[in-house]
A and B are shown apart, each in its own frame.
Chain A
Amino acid sequence: SQQGEEDPQALSIQEGENATMNCSYKTSINNLQWYRQNSGRGLVHLILIRSNEREKHSGRLRVTLDTSKKSSSLLITASRAADTASYFCATDALSGNTPLVFGKGTRLSVIA
């Protein structure tokens, strides 16, 4: 399995601080995606970064990808209580049409 693994499993920060989550994977990929899941809800897509990209921004989100280390990080700047959620990375396979594989997620708590 080339499942991504997020680190840490849980993270608790104060509002206004930055939150960094990491994802490591095992085999070469086409792209890597990050999703957010609020408690009791379905996952929502945040950002997709392609294997030939090193960094991508979307609002307060910054994603980096290091294909040599097979790792990615998600940075949320100036966090808010509403950012409290679980965050998952998802990876695809370099070849074939196999579906994305999701990691187990990082649970982020932002304390007001």
Chain B
Amino acid sequence: NAGVTQTPKFRVLKTGQSMTLLCAQDMNHEYMYWYRQDPGMGLRLIHYSVGEGTTAKGEVPDGYNVSRLKKQNFLLGLESAAPSQTSVYFCASSTGAYNEQFFGPGTRLTVL
């Protein structure tokens, strides 16, 4: 079991560029999440999904889009990157809303 994997691990973008972060899980979890973590801010939920084909907004969704076309994958897109999106992004999955979440290793994104 690989658990939760994230691609890429590091990325540097210029302002206005776009990119997609990929999260994959092999635990057959229904729920998947995207968080960003900034110094002193803890984890903030961007978007989440309660099942294949569904997505919902979290606390800080502006500037991001997501898709869950397959149960095992959850994609996070930045259409026009801004320096304020410089952060570490974590993906997680769980069997239910109240259950233990399993986290990926993170993607460190820098927007210049």
* A→B interface (CB under 8 Å): 1, 3, 30-31, 33, 35, 40-45, 48, 88, 90, 92, 97-105
Contact = CB atoms under 8 A, between A and B. Distances in A.
Interface string B81-95: 000000000101000
B97 A45 contact: no
B100 A99 contact: no
B106 A40 contact: yes
Contacts of A42: 4, 90, 92, 103-106
A42 B31 CA distance: 17
Contacts of A99: 31, 33, 45, 48, 58, 97
A44 B31 CA distance: 17
Nearest to B41: A104
Interface residues of B, number: 25
B87 to A, nearest CB: 14
Nearest to A103: B42
Interface in B29-61: 31, 33, 35, 40-43, 45, 48, 50, 58-59
Given A43-B90, A97-B96, A103-B42, 12 more contacts: A33-B100, A40-B106, A42-B90, A42-B103, A42-B105, A42-B106, A43-B101, A99-B58, A100-B97, A100-B98, A102-B35, A104-B40
A104 B90 CA distance: 15
- Tell me whether chain A's interface is mostly helix, strand or loop, or mixed: loop
Contact of B97 (A40, A88, A92): A92
A10 B100 CA distance: 25
A45 B101 contact: yes
A41 B106 contact: yes
A58 B45 CA distance: 28
A87 B96 CA distance: 22
